[in-house]
Amino acid sequence: MAYTKSVPRIWRERIRKYRLLGGVCNDCGKVFYPSRRFCPRCGSGNVNKVTLPRTGKILYFTVIRNAPTEFKSFEPYILALIELDNGARILAQLTDIDLEEVYEGMPVEAVFRKYKEQGRDGVIEYGIKFRPRE
C-alpha cells in the first residue's frame, strides 16, 4: 500500500507547499527555501520570512521513471534543483515539459499544480512545480 500523508499533515504543510515562502538571514545574507527558524549556513536565528521570486534556472535534474504509486500517472517526470533569481535553491518537479527538452541552465517559472490525488475519494494535494519559461 502506498504511503499517503495524513490530512492534518497536508494541512500543516499547506502554506509552504502553496507559496514560495523562503527565509533570508539578516546576519550572513543567505536566502533559503523553505523558510525556517535558523539560517542553514551560519545558524543565526535572525531570519525573516520572504516571498521568493517565481523565476529561476535549472542547476541539475533527474528523470524519475519508477515513481511512487501516487505519482504513477505523471511518470516519467523530471525532478530538478532550481536556483531562483535571488539565489535561493529549491527542489521541485517540472511540468509542461518533454524529457528531451530539459537542459542544465534552462530558464523556468513557478506554477501552482496538482501534486497527487489520494485515490478517487481522497484529498487532492496541490503545490509548486516549475515549467519552462519562454
Partner 1 sequence: MSINAAIVGYGVYLPVYRIKDVEIAKVWGRDVRRVPIKEKTVPGPDEDSLTMAFEASLNALRRAKIPPIEIEAVFVGSESPPYAVKPSATVIAEALGATPKLYAVDMEFACRAGTTAMGIVIGMVSSGIIKYGLAIGTDTAQGRPGDELDYTAAAGAAAYIFSNPGKDTIATVEGTYSYVTDTPDFWRREGETFPRHTFRFTGEPAYFTHIIGAAKGLMEKMGLKPSDFNHVVFHQPNVKFPLRVAKMLGFTMEQIKYGLLTGEIGNTYAAASPIGLANILDHAKPGERVLIVSFGSGSGSDAISFIVQDGIESRRHLAPYVEYYIKRKKYVNYSTYAKFRNLLKMR
State the residues that interact with partner 1 by CB under 8 A.
Answer: 14-15, 18-19, 51, 73-74, 95-96, 111-115, 124, 126, 129, 131, 134
Q: What angle do CA 56, 54, 21 make, to 5 degrees?
A: 115
Question: Quick one: 73 or 86, whose CB is closer to Zn ion?
Answer: 86
- Residues 23-52 within binding reach of Zn ion (CB under 5 A): 25, 27-28, 30, 39, 41-42, 44
Selection from 91, 130, 129, 124 nearest residue 10 by Cα: 124
Minimum Å gap between C-beta 79 and partner 1 is 14
Cell 504509486 sits at which residue? 69
- Residues 75-134 within binding reach of Zn ion (CB under 5 A): none
- Selection from partner 1, Zn ion, none that 118 binds (CB < 5 to 8 A by kind) is none
Question: Quick one: 81 or 132, whose CB is closer to partner 1?
Answer: 132
User: Helix-strand-coil percent breakdown of the chain, rounded to 5?
Assistant: 15, 40, 45
Question: Quick one: 96 or 104, whose CB is closer to partner 1?
Answer: 96
- Kindly tell me the sign of the dihedral angle through the C-alpha atoms of 89, 111, 101, 72: positive
